Structure 1
């Protein structure tokens, strides 16, 4: 009898490129997991900042509170910041090729982040009335995401990580890949062949493999960048100039996800 496939991990990243939060259950709204990447750190021109340029961002812890966030970092006082109101000022921000509005949070949050990261920056929030369309090569009009790189959800499997770690001198944690959904009970990279799945009452579509960048080479515990896992992935997970790990997902209707829910494969990709 085969092992049932289930949702073994659920992770939210409230502030883009800062440390994630493991949760047991989460509602899924029009942007992705509730709170996921609704905040973002930007430079003076509104361009997003990430661990690609500032690996130290991985050292900032984030906790979602009822009215905002609690930020923590080594050798820094903890900082509570409130969620802005609709009356708060907005600026134009940029995430890759998308330009949209971000709501300024608090000047003291800007000062705290600038001090720790060593660069002038600001914290912004995406209000509910901001609509950021998912790339229409992969999704119909009306599919939205927040400040993610491009899709509302990212899935990876435990088996794929185990297979990758078998090639490495030192095993890596799933935190390197920053997925929202982690599944167990599969063969390595089985998720590459899935097209449509059901978890609980939600049907989700796997629309694009996730190309990986230098963020995966940053140790989440230290903020130090290394060669892995990109060097090993390049040996067997390369397509063109990119290497891939995990799958991007979209969905038609909000719902709720919880660790332990079964994962049903509804449809497989056509052979390529």
Structure 2
């Protein structure tokens, strides 16, 4: 039997994940997931790919509108209250998508700028913000790379670690949903699944980048370019890239929780991979 073993949100894009026992599924993702991002002075997003130090920022939800953020190098935490934001927006770019993002607070800008080592601003995906996925143009998405949900499985991570020279943690792949009980990379064949009462559809494999080579505890690069080096030997999708996990959209709303059964409703033909290990 397949089961949901982990639920994770990332309130600010590229910061540490928050593990939950239950979460509300909405059209644009898990509630609270990647509703904030950092931008540079010209409106480009700042991520852990170029600023690994921000991946050590930890968040804690205090209530529906307030978050507390901390970082190992900062003497004081940041308290962020959405209720205090001004209704002022700026134009930013998220992976070639033009998005209107809401300014937050100058105290947040200063706090995050100290960590980033340059002038950055924290912006919010506010009520006036709009963005949609490319393959499903009627499906909204916040500041996630491309799709509202990323699913990975414990067995696929185990298969990677079977031949990888380094011990790889699931946190390096930054999933929202982690499934247990399946065979390795069986998720490639899942077209539609149900978790609890919520239906999800597999849109595409998730193409992985250098972000996965960051140690989630230290923000340092993992030796030998892992896990990309090993994944490249057996998870290289021709003309696309190296894959691990699948991008999903939700077909309805509802609450899901760790321990929920996962039912495979429809299968599809999986992409073909050559194992060169």
> If the TM-score is normalised by the length of the shorter chain, which range does it land in?
over 0.9
Q: Who is 2:69 aligned against?
A: 71
| Alignment of structure 1 residues 72-151 onto 2, 5 Å | 72-76=70-74, 77-84=76-83, 87-135=86-134, 138-139=135-136, 141-151=137-147
* Structure 1 match to 2:213: 217
Deviation at 1:257, TM superposition (A): 1.0
Pairing 1:163-242 to 2, within 5 Å after superposition: 163-226=159-222, 227-240=225-238, 242=241
Q: Would you say the 8 A contact 2:86–2:104 is kept in 1?
A: no
Q: TM-score, normalised by structure 1?
A: 0.94
| CA positional deviation for 1:170 | 2.9
Q: Secondary structure at the match of 1:108?
A: helix
- Contact between 2:45 and 2:93, CA under 8 Å: does it hold in 1? yes
Q: Which residue of 2 aligns with 1:160?
A: 156
More moved, 58-67 vs 41-50: 58-67
Question: Who is 2:274 aligned against?
Answer: none
Could you tell which deviates more after superposition, 79-88 or 21-30? 79-88
Alignment match of 2:37 (pick from 34, 40, 45)? 40
- SS state of the match for residue 166, structure 1? helix
- Residue ranges of structure 1 left out of the alignment (5+ in a row): none
Query: Deviation at 1:271?
Result: 5.5
The within-5 A match list for 1:45-60 is 45-60=42-57
**Considering only aligned residues, what root-mean-square deviation do their CA atoms show, in Å?**
1.3
Task: Specify the alignment match of 2:9 in structure 1.
Answer: 12
Q: Would you say how many aligned residue pairs link Structure 1 and Structure 2?
A: 266
Return the offset for 1:253: 1.7
4+ runs deviating over 3 angstroms: 84-87
Deviation at 1:50, TM superposition (A): 0.5
CA shift digits 1:166-212 (9 cap, x unpaired) = 11233111000000000000000000011000111111101100000
Q: How far apart, CA to CA, are the structure 1 residues paired with 2:234 and 2:23?
A: 34
Find the residue that maps to 2:171 and give its secondary structure: helix
Partners of 1:168 and 1:191 in 2: CA distance:
20
Aligned to 2:275: none
